[in-house]
Amino acid sequence: MSFARLFRVVFSVGVAALLGLLAVPACAQGVFVYDWVTVGDPGNAADTTGYGAVADTFQIQKYEFTNQQYADFLNSVAATDIYALYSGTMGSDARGGITRIGVSGSYTYAVKANMGDKPVNYVSWFDAARVANWVQNGATGTSSTETGAYTLNGETSGDAVAVNPGATVFVPTENQWYKAAYYKGGGTNAGYWTYATQSDALPTAVTAGATGDGSAGSTGNFANYNYVASWNGQTGNVTTVGTNGGASAYGAFDLSGNVLEWDDLNGTPGPTHGLRGGYYGYFTQPPLNLGSTDHYEGAPSLEYPGIGFRLAAPAAVPEPSTCAMALAGLACGGYAVLRRRRAR
């Protein structure tokens, strides 16, 4: 069954703290770099949809969280994997990017060929929240996945929990995600684009090269959607982050297309959390999943091939905004209804 058919879609229309927690010493195997962009213009007006107003400057990852980054996380914390951070479909599905070997207590993880720089998929909101906790706690094997940005207490299903006060790395709220994607920047009443490629015109769907790079490189009004980026024997597939068209006004890539991304809605607990941005396929009427009016919600335990995430942080870091993280050493959740509601 296709990804699209699996969804029942309802069509009704502190700088120091951040640098301290992310500047992890490099290990012998190397260093992985997280890129961040600054989303400024604090106190901006909301869009006509009601979304996008954010009181403070914040940071968001320039690219979607990749398979390599997630494999590093797994190798750090999931030798036993008591919180089901790894989905077996990551290994069995050609669109998944991570394999696992060994037995519980000594699991190890590796990225598939040509998949390290593709967005991780088959991740739930709970998985993303645990990554945020891990990063906030120092991104090491001894850091907790259960406390920090979120107090999870072993939960892997049910309602999402609220972000903790003072969290320094977290899943972005819907308003933060929306602003990073669509706001034009340059003031508090600058207005919004319809698509995250700084355009009101529908992006052209990218094709893919033999190793999964998007055909548009890093410029232009393009996006990975509509099952056009075919490679690795797949009709439509994830593509290398940052190679699928132009960035948003703040410099973040793939906020339209590639994979849908989790957001925290308004940061409070609830039985669903948000998904925005579109993915490499489509729902029943393409391209009704790319633009600013398209809002979806799913159970926080939901895992699918077209769902990933990126993280946010509350404070600015000096440009260029990169923070080094140590490598770990080696380069199914609930199938719930995903709902689309009219922009408020």
Residue 197 in this model has a pLDDT that exceeds 90 = yes
d(CA 263, CA 30): 30
In this structure, of 46-50, 173-177, 321-325, the range with the lowest mean pLDDT score is: 321-325
Please report which confidence band the pLDDT of residue 321 belongs to, taking 50, 70 and 90 as the band edges.
very low
Pairing of strands 108-111, 98-101: antiparallel
Work out how many domains the chain is built from and give that number.
1
Residue bearing the bigger pLDDT, 76 or 32: 76
Question: Quick one: CA torsion of 119, 120, 123, 129, rounded to 10 degrees?
Answer: -80
Which two three-digit tokens encode residue 225? 């959607």
State which of 20-34, 150-164, 314-328 shows the largest mean pLDDT.
150-164
Distances (CA, A) of 15 to 26, 101, 330: 21, 39, 30
Give the torsion sign (CA, 100, 211, 309, 11).
Answer: negative
Other CB atoms within 10 A of residue 13 CB:
10
Which two three-digit tokens encode residue 128? 């993303």
- Which pLDDT value is given to residue 25? 27
**Residues 161-183: b if buried by 16+ CB within 10 A, e if exposed:** bebbeebbbbbbbbbbbbbbbbb
Q: Which of 221, 123, 125 is nearest to 174 (CA)?
A: 125
Question: CA angle, 95 as apex, 131 and 170 as ends, to 5°?
Answer: 20
Residue 256 in this model has a pLDDT that exceeds 70 = yes
d(CA 215, CA 223): 10
In this structure, of 152-161, 290-299, 328-337, the range with the lowest mean pLDDT score is: 328-337
Q: pTM for this one?
A: 0.85
CATH number at residue 282: 3.90.1580.10
Q: What is the 3-state secondary structure (H, E, C) of 110-148?
A: EECCCCCCCECCCCCHHHHHHHHHHHHCCCCCCCCCCCC
Average pLDDT over every residue of 76-105 = 97
Write the DSSP string, 63-99. Answer: SPPBHHHHHHHHHHH-SS-TT--S-THHHHSTT--EE
Long-range contacts from 134-139, C-beta under 8 angstroms, 24+ separation: 134/73, 134/76, 134/77, 135/21, 135/22, 135/169, 135/311, 135/325, 136/21, 136/167, 136/168, 136/169, 137/21, 138/21, 138/24, 139/22, 139/24, 139/73, 139/76, 139/325, 139/326
List of residues 6+ apart from 106 with CB closer than 8 A: 79
Q: Is 340 helix (H, G, I), strand (E, B) or coil?
A: strand
Which two three-digit tokens encode residue 171? 């899943």
- Which pLDDT value is given to residue 33? 58
Percent of the chain with pLDDT over 90: 75
Integer-rounded Cα Rg, in Å, for the chain is 18
Over the stretch 116-175, which tens digit does the pLDDT of each residue have? 999 999 999 999 999 999 999 998 877 899 999 999 999 999 999 999 999 999 999 999
Tell me the residue length of the chain: 344
Residue 6 in this model has a pLDDT that exceeds 80 = no
Please report which confidence band the pLDDT of residue 43 belongs to, taking 50, 70 and 90 as the band edges.
very high
Amino acid at 198: Q
User: What is the extent of the structural domain holding 22?
Assistant: 1-344
Residue 206 in this model has a pLDDT that exceeds 70 = yes
Q: In whole numbers, what is the pLDDT of the chain averaged over residues? A: 84
Average pLDDT over every residue of 21-27 = 31
Q: Which residue has the tokens 């007006």?
A: 45
Over the stretch 277-290, which tens digit does the pLDDT of each residue have? 999 998 656 666 89
